[in-house]
Each structure stands twice: as C-alpha cells, then as structure tokens.
Chains A and B, each alone.
Chain A
Amino acid sequence: MAKHKVTMTINGKSVTAEVDSRLLLVHFIRENLDMTGTHIGCDTSSCGACTILIDGKSVKSCTYLTVRADGAEITTIEGIAADGTNHPLQKAFHDQHGLHCGFCTPGMIMRSIDLLKTNPNPTEKEIRWGISGNLCRCTGYNNIVKSVQQAAAEMAKEKEASV
C-alpha cells in the first residue's frame, strides 16, 4: 500500500503523518489521533455522525480520504470551544435537551455551526432542511431545532456585542 505524507491543521494544531492512500479521514482522526468525538454511524454519508469542518465547511468524514485533506484546516467537536467552556451550540443542546444518547450530537453540532455561519437567522423550516443530512434516532428533532434556534439567538447577541 502506497504511503503518503500529509500535513493538516486539526483544532489549531499542525499534524503531519504518513498514511495509506485508502485511509478514511474519520479513521485517521479516531484511530491515529485518538480523538473519538467524531463518530461512525454508517458508511454511505447518510447519517452525518462523522461530520467535521474542513476549511470551515461541514463535511462527512466517513467518505473523505485522508490524503485529500492534505493542507486543510480541520475542526472536530473537540476543537470548537476551549477546555471548560461551551460553544453556544453546546450550551443550547444542553439547555434545550437536544440530545439523548449523544451519538449523533457531535455531528449535529458541527453541521449546525456551518448552517448558522451561512444562515445566522434560520427559520424552523430552514433548520430542519439544514440538518436533514444528519440522522438522530432519539430526539424526534423538536429539541434539536430549539437548540439551534437558541444558539442562533445567542450568537447574534454575541456578534452585536462585539461590534
């Protein structure tokens, strides 16, 4: 198996490694880097549990080759807030009971970060369509929608305060 040297930034830290051509990015993150917050729920890009940010855009890492991420800037659930603090979405999912088993949660939050970046004030319908690439089997989505709404409001407030 051909090896490739890749360098990328993950959660602000530079990482260099020799990887097989076929190594999927989700496995690189989980197995090689021991960051297990990014989950695997399917192998067809259907469930979204493996969603991360690549150069700021949400991507399903279970169907993304590691070599393709060479030079990229990657953010996983472990990197969205400093230790001991919460991203507004993390806080909102807690406040609104937006998680039960917690398995889809990291992917759902990573997708929502991208959603709120491109649409900071989404309607309920836009949120539902916006997270429709991420499956949750526990919550029935009502409270995930409410979580994203709460985070949108808080992020808007933060933005206003910072201007």
Chain B
Amino acid sequence: MFKCKTSPEVGGMGHSVKRKEDARFLHGKGKFTDDVKLPGMLHMVIVRSPYAYAKILSINKEKALAIDGVLAVITGEDLAQYNLHWMPTLLSDSQMVLPTDTVMHQSQEVCAVIATDRYIAVDGAEAVDVQYEPMKALVDPYKALDKDAPLLRPDKEGQKDNHIYHWERGERAKTDAAIAAADVVVKERIYLPRIHVASIETCGVVASYDKDTEKMLIYLTSQAPHAIRTILALVAGHVGLSEEKIRIIAPDIGGGFGGKVPVYPGYVIAIAASFLIGKPVKWIEDRSENLVNGFARDYHMDCELAATKDGKIQAFKVSTLADHGYTDSSANPSKYPTGMFSICTGSYDYEHAFAELDAVYTNKAPGGVAYRCSFRVTEAVHAIERMVDKLAAEIGKDPAQLRFENFIKKEQFPYASPLGWSYDSGDYKQTLEKAMDMIGYADYKKEQAEKRAQGKLMGIGICTFTEVVGAGPSKDFDILGIKMFDSAEIRVHPTGKALARFGTKSQGQGHETTYAQILAEELGIPYTDIEIDEGDTDTAPYGLGTYASRSTPTAGAAAAIAARKLRDKGKKIAAHLLEVSEEDIEWEVGKYFVKGAPEKSKTIQDVAFAAYTNFPEGMEPGFEATHYYDPPNLTFPNGAYICVVEVEEETGAIDVKRFVAIDDCGNIINPMIVEGQIHGGLTQGIAPAMYEGIVYDDEGNVLNGTLMDYLVPTAVESPHWETGHTITPSPHHPLGAKGVAESPTVGAPPAIANAIIDALYPLGIKHLDIPITPDKVWDAIQVAKAKA
C-alpha cells in the first residue's frame, strides 16, 4: 500500500484533500465559454443540411439579410475567397468548413448567420433559402466498399473508391496457422456503435479580432488549446493569423471526454467571421448540433480466439471495418491511425496475434472523435473480453478460472505483448481475486445455479482489462509532427507560495488540486499555497493537452521533475544559508538539514526567500523551474470488474444488481478524486453498454439527435458503484502513477455485456452487441425460443 509522506495539512500524494476549485462552481461563479460577454459581441447560428448527401443548388441570403440585426450570412463561397472553406484533419484528411457544392452528412454546416442577438441570428437562419438536390446516401460501411458504390470523395486526388486506409499489426500467417491448428476456435462479429460524449456543456467559441493590434483572442471549449492554436496558425496563417497573434483561452470546461479535442467547423467560421467583421463573435452549439456531429467508436470487428481444449489461449485475430463518416477526423497520434487498438491482446499471455483494420467513408458525420477514450482501447478491450468469455462458455470453464490460467504473471513485467507494447506493471491475479472477494463471487455462482434451476435468468460478467495511456514517447507519438510531451512551469514566490502552470487543461478532473498535491509531495509546500493555472496559451507552457488519460502520466511527471530541479537549486541555497558544503545537506519533505545535525535546518520557504534575497554568489537569482516531460513509455493501468445482473424473461428488462470495480492505476495522488473519476467512467461505461447508440435510417437521418431520445443515464439508470484498488506502481513514472480516468469506460461495457449474455446463455443466446436494451433482449429471447 501507498504510505503518505506528508501531513494532511501539506496534502501531498495519497491524501483525499477536498478540491480547491469547487467554490466557484458551487456558487454559480464558474466561467464557461458561454459566460463570456464582450462589448459589441455578435452571435452566430449555423444553417445545417437536412439531407445526408445532396448537391447545393443555391443559397439565397436576401431574406435573412433583410432582417433588422442580421449583419452577414457566410457561405462556403465567401470562405473560398480566403481559401478557408476546407481544413485539414489531424490525420491528413480534409474536412469542409463550409461547403461550396455538396453536403456529405445530415446536419453538416451549410452557412452561418451573424447577428446582434442570438434570437435574431436564429430568425436569420430560418430565413436563409437553400435549394438542394438530394442524392442517395451511402450509410452502410460494407456497401461503401462495393465496386459500384458512388465515390464519396472525388475531391481527394487519387481517391478511386471509399476506402481510406488499411492498417495491420502482428503476424498474419503465424496467427492464421495457430488458429487453424487449435483445438478450439471461437468467432464473433462484434459491433461497437456510434456514440457521443454529450458533455453537459456543449462546444462553443467566442472569437475577438482586434484590427489595430492584429491579435485574435479566442475563448474556446478546448481540451488542447496549445495544439489548436498551432493548427489555426497553420490553417489561417496565409490570411495573417500568425501564431504569436493568436491567444486561446480555454476557460472552465463543462466536461470534455475527448469531444472538445477536435477543431469543429463552427469554431473556424466564428473565428473567420470575427476576423472579417472586426467584432467579437460568439457561437455556442445547441444540444442537437452537439449530438449529431462527431462520433466515437463505430468499429465492426471480426474476432477469432484460438485455444487448447483446456482453455490455454494460443492466438487472437481481429479484422475491423471502421466507419469514419465522410472524413477521418480521428484525433490520434500520426503513427497510430487506429490509436492503441493493438492493445487488443489484453491481459493474457500468448504468442500469436494479428490485428487489421480498413477504414471507409460513408455519408455520416465525421467519426473517430472520442468518448472518454479516443485511442480505440475501448473497442480493443471489448473484443478480447467478449471473446475470452465466449471461449469460457464454449469449453464450459468458469470465466474467472480461464482468466487466471491465462493472465500475464506479475513476474513477467515488463511484458512484451505480441503486438508490440511493453506493459509496465500489473498484478492481474491479485486484482481479480480482490474483485471476486469483494463481490462474493463464489456465493453468486451458487445463487446463479439455484436460480437457473428455477428457470430464472441471472448472469455474472467479468472484465479484466489492460489499458494503455499517457501518450507518449517522442520516438513514436506526435500529432501533426508535434511530439506528445507535456509541461510544467513552477514559480515559487519569495514568501514561499507558488504558482504552477501546465500545458494540459482540466475539464473536471481536478487539476487545481492534484497538481498542487504533486508539488506539495515534492517540495513540502502546502497544496493550499500553490495556485494552478492552465488553458491560456499566452501564459501556460506548451503542451498537448488533457485527453486519453494523459495528464498525470505526462504533465504530472513534468511537475515532479520540475520540482526536483527546484530542490537541487534549493540544496545549494540551503548549504549557503547553513554555511556547510552541499554534500552535507539532506532533504526531507519541506526542509533541508545538516547531515547528523537535524536541528540545523532551513525550510523550503526559507530557501525560497533566500533565492530572491540572499543567494550564493554567482547563482542565478529566483526560484523557478520548468520541465517538458518526454515519457519513456506509456502507462498500463488495469482492473478487474465484475457485474451481476438479472434479466426478466417476459420483458427483457435488465436489472444490474451489483457492480464491483477494482482498479490498479499505480500510486494514487488523491484517492477521493480517483474514486470520483472511476464512478463517472463507470456510468459512461453502462451508457454504451445498455442505453446509448446513435441510430441512422437508410437515408442517413439521425433518429435520436436530442437528449429526449439519446439516453444519457440518469441517477436511476446508474447503479451504486462499488470500487476498490490494488497498487502496482509504474516503474518508469517519477511518481509511480498511471492514468486512470478512461479505465472504467473501457472496462465496464464488456463486464456488463458478459453478465447479460451469461444470464441469457441457458436460452442459447451466445452474443449480443451493445447497447443491450430490453427490446433487443426480448427479440433475442423470442428468436431463441422459436429455434428451441
């Protein structure tokens, strides 16, 4: 277990101190993007396409412009004059800002109305007359690959069909051979549907261009303000928006989950409008705009898992079709178009694996956006964890026992996975044992046998996942060439209080508390004496931002190392103050003392004061340090989740009776915050497992584009989560910590799916795709009964 080195007052690692950022939110004083109000600010509303695929015949602005208060209607033709009608995506694809001739998905931006007031802008949008010539939309990704399918992206040079890219990892021939020779092979096509993060705050921007200073000030709902500034400079540099003239402030953010990483066309239009008009322009998405643009998941995975008849796993193969909509807008590292999907071999030790993926265009909104996991770990874990359960059912072995027999052992770390990762640490056996103890696994197995004997449907589902977070080492990880380091800059003031700035950006994770705790741990300055600042590109050091559970693995490590640099400098100052040589000085949290004479000491606050008032001759004054941290490896948090459900045969209703989550994210900075992250992630795990999924009809219409029919779980659907931990520190992270926030979103869906399918197994139901809704269960029961 982790032992706290600091007192609760200092509040270093391991203390569940209350959050420093709470007060403003509790009093209604948070400052979110929509709360920004600038003098003379105009409002923008976007006109969107009712069709999934159509030619634009004409856009008539006249009636809109005739409305008092409507100042402009901006079209693709207008932006084309500045070559701003298209923008690059992060993975070298291209996306329309506004179309000049064709719309590619329902609700795509068609033009934008700028007015003095939001209500008037809505009137203007109603009055714009757009004439379309609808075309037959391509909705099914398998049909998109047909030889006679219409070419959706003729604008792309050399694009002959709707195939975007092929990716593969591992050894195909050896994996195929191992599968062919195996005693047992289980197969399944598993679909993870499109879902949307639906953060309660939608996306938005206030752009304010000052023609005199040529400065563009942008308040933006962004998880990665520095990277976005660079992208804007690259996209709009030719019209004079140079990087040093752009200031992005990401103010308080009402939930991100990856949905606030991309550059959405609306941002660019508002920025262009402010640039052209010279006044501040605000654009805030409404909920439907938010829900139907940009999606996560949408992977169709053909899986094969091979094993001996006793259940020793030998090989895993997965071939995936990825529906990206009309452009690949994935926010993934350049060399990882499928993110970390190759983590799909899971927590198990075997030799052969092969993963391949083909990405296609369809007439849907751009896919590849995140949902509390952007890097495809959710898809990977769902595939392997469903298949392991399927194997257990096939050979009649307890799924926990099968996992124990196949786990990578504690002593095998660092473990080289068949698809190329080096897992840093874990004790999978201990973690699963703890989960089984906590839920009372053996008792539930007995209860299940009794219930089955009575004809009742009860299921127990397990997921033992391995996550991969903290991108990432510069040799492999970059976005648009920018390496995926992150940064911390610490200034300790003469009075011993501090200000620290970071390249990341909290969206509710509690950075103002946890980063202060890291510095308290390293310097002994109470966490309450340390201010944390993020999100302003004019003041914060450059970093790639907060997503993919990377803040603690990267910026958290940067904070620790920057603090250690300060400690080294402090040692010299302490030696000077205590009139001994540097070698005679020792450190314990918060103070330097003379070896063998602990009564002779100087506190960190004494040393900070001396850094400005009484420093050794020749030393650079001041007490500041900066570190840009390039991680040597990713971190591999893991966990064991167990879910117990009962299913009502007559209605298909599913009752989640218990859910236990044991997470191992290495050393913990603030247990209260980690537990809170896990609770939230679990609810975002049950959401796609049982409720959420964007539904399209054959014409490409989204059928559930509001919160009335896209079912975000309420407190009623969300079970009472039970959580716990094992701790195997990361050997390479300076604090022994790992990322955690996405683990529960990754681990919960297969645990729930496995439980429901386990409940239905006696009826002969062997697989269901998520979301597993009562009507889907009911249908499956009717089919199963008809067969029987």
Contacts and interface: CB of A to CB of B under 8 A. Distances in A.
Q: A and B from one assembly?
A: yes
Interface of A: 20, 22-23, 27, 30-31, 34-44, 46-47, 49, 76-78, 81, 86, 90, 93-95, 97, 99-106, 109, 124, 127-129, 131-145
A37 B32 contact: no
Interface stretch (B186-194, B533-541, B623-631, B671-679): B671-679
User: Looking at chain B's contact residues, is the secondary structure mostly helix, strand, loop, or mixed?
Assistant: loop
Nearest to B198: A137
Given A46-B706, A145-B715, A97 B28 contact: no
A103 B28 contact: no
Contact of A47 (B18, B119, B200): B200
Contacts of B679: 139-143
B11 interface: no
Given A127-B715, A138-B676, 20 more contacts: A35-B28, A36-B31, A39-B200, A39-B201, A43-B286, A46-B287, A47-B712, A90-B26, A97-B18, A97-B675, A99-B25, A101-B253, A103-B32, A103-B254, A128-B714, A132-B714, A135-B714, A137-B680, A138-B255, A142-B720
Interface string B238-258: 000000000000001111110
Contacts, number: 184
A14 B251 CA distance: 32
B510 interface: yes
8 contacts: A37-B29, A94-B23, A99-B22, A100-B510, A101-B256, A137-B200, A140-B678, A141-B715
User: Looking at chain A's contact residues, is the secondary structure mostly helix, strand, loop, or mixed?
Assistant: loop
A93 B681 CA distance: 19
B257 A135 contact: no
Contacts of B786: none
A142 B678 CA distance: 10
| Interface range on chain B (Cβ under 8 Å from partner) | 35 or more
A73 B390 CA distance: 60
B779 to A, nearest CB: 27
Nearest to B507: A101
Interface in B655-683: 672-673, 675-683
Contacts of A106: 25, 28
Interface string B711-734: 010111010110000000000000
A5 B676 CA distance: 46
Contacts of B25: 99, 101-103, 105-106
Contacts of A144: 715
Contact of B197 (A77, A103, A137, A141): A137
Interface string B34-52: 1101000000000000000
A120 to B, nearest CB: 19
Interface in B293-338: none
B201 A22 contact: no
B554 interface: no
* Among A38, A136, A141: residue with most chain B CB under 10 A: A141
* Among A44, A77, A129, A142: residue with most chain B CB under 10 A: A142
